[in-house]
Amino acid sequence: MPGLVAGKVVLVTGAASGIGRASAEALAREGAKVVLSDVNAALGKEVAAAIRSQGGEVLFRAADVTDEAQVEALVAATVKDFGRLDAAHNNAGITGAVGAVQDLELEGWMRTIHTNLTSIFLCMKHELRVMQKARRGSIVNTSSGAGVLATPALAAYCASKHGVLGLTKTAALENARTGVRVNAILPGSIDTPMLQTFMKLSPETDKLIRGSQPGGRLGKAEEIAEAVVWLCSDRSSFVSGASLAVDAAAVCR
């Protein structure tokens, strides 16, 4: 039987590891032609090779998604390589600056906002221009449980992820009649290299993260990827402007 996204062309950013990698793998497994992008070219090419070895149709293109010229070139290359752009998972992000609001340096704040929020604005700006012309498309932006709940010492991260939801909802409304859907996923505490690095900051941090999951375990990147595939597919044709929590009830507290 054909996969959920068979024949679709999908762009995934932040695809070299974690949720982005799992998303790219799941999309390819479900029949999509996938363009992977990340600033880590070496790791990104490894991911592309692994997907290709499993029979997936995939290309890797390095890009810094905080740079508009590189984003514009990435989207244009996707269309050139595969003829169109049907869906995108805008996923690149970092934990960023850590500390109480009064202790944050502006440089750390700006880097977090640029990486987690401005990059999604830039990706959507150029993805939407292509999708609106085709009168079809689905965009999935990665927010976080921190997009709806405060987390001490992560003011910049929380602000950026709250911003992703506002940006997503606005774009969804603007495109309600264009054939383009825009949604966000809100992963809980997912066992990725980024989260593991953050948890190692201190025993207290590790305890806080593990305690935030009512189900008693960290999520798997593959579990987030399944939600991404569904939102990219035509099975979610009446879903737009949604903030889909995939967190085993963590934000229900």
Q: Which residues are catalytic?
A: 157
What CA–CA distance (Å, rounded) separates 25 from 12? Answer: 10
Nearest to 7, CA basis, from 82, 63, 70: 82
Instruction: List the Cα angle 162/100/95 in 5-degree steps.
Output: 50
Output the CA torsion 10→15→19→22 (10° steps): 70
Using an 8 Å Cβ cutoff, are 181 and 239 in contact?
yes
Using an 8 Å Cβ cutoff, are 82 and 51 in contact?
no
Q: Give the sign of the dihedral formed by CA 27, CA 30, CA 35, CA 41.
A: positive
Nearest to 60, CA basis, from 11, 96, 3: 11
Nearest to 25, CA basis, from 53, 56, 46, 1: 56
Instruction: List the Cα angle 188/122/179 in 5-degree steps.
Output: 80
What CA–CA distance (Å, rounded) separates 108 from 117? Answer: 14
H-helix or E-strand containing 57? strand 57-62
